Structure 1
């Protein structure tokens, strides 16, 4: 064993300690590995920074931008809304719908983004169905993981493994080469969750906390109008965009120029042009109403004359009406807010019960809270003395709900085009993905600024920093040393045994360190093992791929598991119990299926 190999193994050991302990973030750990390899002379500077130009890194970046473009146009949120409508009171039916939709979405959109959007949806489903949210979140995460593993563009890990394999002379995996295996695993997961897993995820009522999605129940009163050309005209309130939920409730519908007809929302029938709706909603829903082209908040007149780009610069803030305010005992319709306050009221909230009167008729009282849209800095005499600002709504919180729904069909068409070009082998996925990114920018599905702000750069730096480790393992001969030891241990055994061992090792390692890090460590070794055993390397690489994407043992084994861990009020043992048995089942399936499907 040379000094270089000893030095490299020390760096690998240090990286494993940092990955496992979480003392610093995984992307920073990856950069430390890259710098250490160059500083010690194991790699040249060109080799050390090669991860930034690697096709896996650049393809992942392109796909992250495509995912953000889909999210920006509301495509993922639309799937979430469909999910809410399709679920019912039956727990097993609800689980099937959740797992099917999340797995399908994760096959084409970044898995982490899908789960992030769907977590609040799980709370909506739990509230409407009475199903414990702990029963829903783990199946959501597990299904998204398998969905991502089922296509080559589903996760960054798949792209990384594909690129590593190609660098060692393996054939390129096509987009749907993994789908049959992934489909079998998904069907197994669904049956497991219906008959076993969901029962182990249930909490005693005293154990399950009531955790909201951060936006609370409907507590603001506002007033909206259905403008000419709205897609809501001749549509029913029930089951539509304005259907009653905990976050939004239509209290009353007023019809006619003089408001002569007033209906309860359940008696309104079809919506008509110029209908006025008295609505109670929380801030999140108000932001969505504010940016919905099919409705207009009556007091927020300024928005009808500004562009989408200008809307993003608008400030939202909450103000508390103070004693001796000039607003007290005045109706909202009688106040020239823009002249005296340089802002418009979007909604009002009282400490007590909000009635169903029109917002414009609301008489302002001491202690009322107004949600304002405009200049949050108290520049006028009146804004300095009539209220105090109690909260400014963070700009990123506003922008999360500024979906470009008019571009939804365009963004979906672009993604389908990227997939079609890659599947038909007309263009490599790298080129087709970047063509898709360029079209996303040109069609304004997403802006460059939003891409810079929202793309998960951690993944990009993690890949760029950790890829050189594979080069170092090969350059120093460390991969051959480890592979020869494995070959000696497994000499005389069947290829199936080797596949089984690698899948299990990958699953266990991914339970404590990043799945990308596990892949970078094991892929070069697996290829060396295949060479030593004179067997094709593809089954071993596939075993690592699925093992890295289906580690359900711990909440830290995969990002989506960590995301649902807190909101679901889970314990570490919940994952070990539910995920542990599932890992054993998947291990048996992988041992049987991978040699038959990929050898």
Structure 2
């Protein structure tokens, strides 16, 4: 029978700070960054005036701020930079295009392949970029009459989260748990250390994600679909185009649904031909990629990319509205001189609420520009701003940066090489990830002056605060005391039940507070319970890691849950109704698998 002693004042204070942090995260009145920084400040000031036994005031400051220099944070930031490199170079786009084609074959097959693809991608790439990549595809498919987004986004998010759980680099939380466990004396886990366990659990969960979860979700479409702008432009057929020598019927099946030929050619396509086409921005981009055609003069597009490369700039695509004072009113693109004057390319023209008009004196049938027309314009940011200011156009929100596709293979190779070196045990993950991030900068896959877009300040301060909380919980004796309390209630349970209880405890914290802080509190507690009950440490540490990733039951549990909330028009109840059964399935499956794997 356990005799539980009264916790020390430092342990009580550590638990109070941790509880206050949980409550602040759950209430959501203060931002994550503010709560994290306040937690670090309280720990630093408290330990300065009331140091831990056998330590000085400055030792407390070092403990409070140690997270900012911790190798786990360096690893997380490096992985963020490499993930950004995959996104901005378009390295993940082939997977997205493949997915869209599968959905055209069969909706259920498309959903199954989507779940598997999301799972596999999130094993190697941080789950947030993966969801950001796939989210527009599912929303667009829903707008085209496919499966409603409200029935697909929660299952997709769950697949991403399960995939992220499968490797130590899948999420920042995994790295945090592994790092804390290593600080406590556990051996270092490699990238795929526990992947077979998660793969087996995923096989059990997949039928629920694929067949049951969509049925538990309502069709939340509002009934009013926002029409996306269609741009009319001229498709130019260069000599190297796949159109040359082909008939219209041979290419129409390969084109996106939102792309249309306004002029159907007679006979086969010929080099030098110019045909009027229309489509959304995404459809036009996909069509010219498939057909290897052009929707702007080739010389100006080449000049834009050449200048951007020389000046180390990004190429932007933005929508601009022709205003009353615009110089280009009444002119065509050919007579406006836009490309020569500003070095930008107009990719298409949208004329709202009126028919397309052409001038009677224009034998080529080029479109005359009028007030209210929306132009889709490509160019460097400085040139676009010069064009808008000089010619009286209004820039709309939502500029898109064109992927630097010439470096897509390079970015993929860097990411693969970094993971391979860590997986083979040739380099620690911190070193291989940092080397990969440096290579992303050197090769131009990620620009150094844009690194702020790759890194998340919220994640940085949250991880730093979590490491500080984890250390104070451990060194104050709070972890040992909490371990004794939990062990006294778990001592008569079988190992599978002990693992399930730890997992559910951490899952509860994760869904109502933060998975990072749940990891920092749960890891030392699991360590203490293992010692108290005489159980192997590693499966209990993995129970904490898995529990931190079972964040399906509330929208506040993880950032990707919030990301899909608006697009799917979800309520809190949607997450609860679909997430709780999945939590129970994963907890039961993972607990049993841990017992079998470690022979407990």
TM-score between the two structures when normalised by the length of structure 2: 0.86
1:257 aligned residue: none
1:170 aligned residue: 186
Is 2:60 aligned against 1:44?
yes
Give the Cα–Cα distance (whole angstroms) in 2 for the partners of residues 18 and 539 of structure 1.
31
1:67 aligned residue: 83
From 369, 375, 378, the counterpart of 1:364: 369
2:100 aligned residue: 84
Give the Cα–Cα distance (whole angstroms) in 1 for the partners of residues 351 and 512 of structure 2.
49
User: How far apart are 1:141 and its partner, in Å?
Assistant: 0.1
Give the Cα–Cα distance (whole angstroms) in 2 for the partners of residues 561 and 322 of structure 1.
44
User: How far apart are 1:504 and its partner, in Å?
Assistant: 1.0
SS of equivalent to 1:75:
coil
1:99 aligned residue: 115
Residues 407/238 of structure 1: CA separation in 2 closer, same or farther (3 Å cut): farther
Give the Cα–Cα distance (whole angstroms) in 2 for the partners of residues 202 and 365 of structure 1.
44
Residues 274/538 of structure 1: CA separation in 2 closer, same or farther (3 Å cut): farther
Residues 283/87 of structure 1: CA separation in 2 closer, same or farther (3 Å cut): closer
1:158 aligned residue: 174
SS of equivalent to 1:222:
strand
Is 2:382 aligned against 1:376?
no
Is 2:256 aligned against 1:244?
yes
2:278 aligned residue: 280
2:529 aligned residue: 529
Contact 1:376–1:392 under 8 Å retained in 2: no
1:304 aligned residue: 302
SS of equivalent to 1:107:
helix
SS of equivalent to 1:422:
helix
Q: Deviations over 1:367-389 (max 9, x none)?
A: 43334554535798x83xxxx53
Contact 2:78–2:437 under 8 Å retained in 1: yes
Q: How many pairs does the alignment contain? A: 568
Residues 342/14 of structure 1: CA separation in 2 closer, same or farther (3 Å cut): same
Residues 477/360 of structure 1: CA separation in 2 closer, same or farther (3 Å cut): farther
User: How far apart are 1:251 and its partner, in Å?
Assistant: 3.5
Q: How does 1:392-407 map to 2 (within 5 A)?
A: 392-393=396-397, 397-399=399-401, 402-407=402-407
In structure 1, the gaps of 5 or more residues are 254-261
Residues 576/272 of structure 1: CA separation in 2 closer, same or farther (3 Å cut): farther
User: How far apart are 1:360 and its partner, in Å?
Assistant: 6.8
From 11, 17, 35, the counterpart of 1:11: 17
1:347 aligned residue: 348
2:335 aligned residue: 334
Give the Cα–Cα distance (whole angstroms) in 1 for the partners of residues 531 and 567 of structure 2.
46
User: How far apart are 1:560 and its partner, in Å?
Assistant: 1.4
Give the Cα–Cα distance (whole angstroms) in 2 for the partners of residues 532 and 586 of structure 1.
26
Give the Cα–Cα distance (whole angstroms) in 2 for the partners of residues 466 and 529 of structure 1.
20
Give the Cα–Cα distance (whole angstroms) in 2 for the partners of residues 272 and 111 of structure 1.
45
Residues 15/139 of structure 1: CA separation in 2 closer, same or farther (3 Å cut): same
In structure 2, the gaps of 5 or more residues are 1-6, 52-58
Residues 597/23 of structure 1: CA separation in 2 closer, same or farther (3 Å cut): same
User: How far apart are 1:314 and its partner, in Å?
Assistant: 6.2
Give the Cα–Cα distance (whole angstroms) in 2 for the partners of residues 129 and 182 of structure 1.
34
From 27, 33, 45, the counterpart of 1:21: 27
Query: Which deviates the most, 178-187 or 479-488?
Result: 178-187
Q: What CA RMSD, in Å, does the superposition of the two structures yield over aligned residues?
A: 3.1
Q: Deviations over 1:330-386 (max 9, x none)?
A: 433233335778865442221235559899711334543334554535798x83xxx
Give the Cα–Cα distance (whole angstroms) in 2 for the partners of residues 211 and 498 of structure 1.
50
Contact 2:470–2:520 under 8 Å retained in 1: yes
Residues 314/82 of structure 1: CA separation in 2 closer, same or farther (3 Å cut): closer
Give the Cα–Cα distance (whole angstroms) in 2 for the partners of residues 91 and 496 of structure 1.
38
Contact 1:72–1:404 under 8 Å retained in 2: yes
Residues 461/287 of structure 1: CA separation in 2 closer, same or farther (3 Å cut): farther
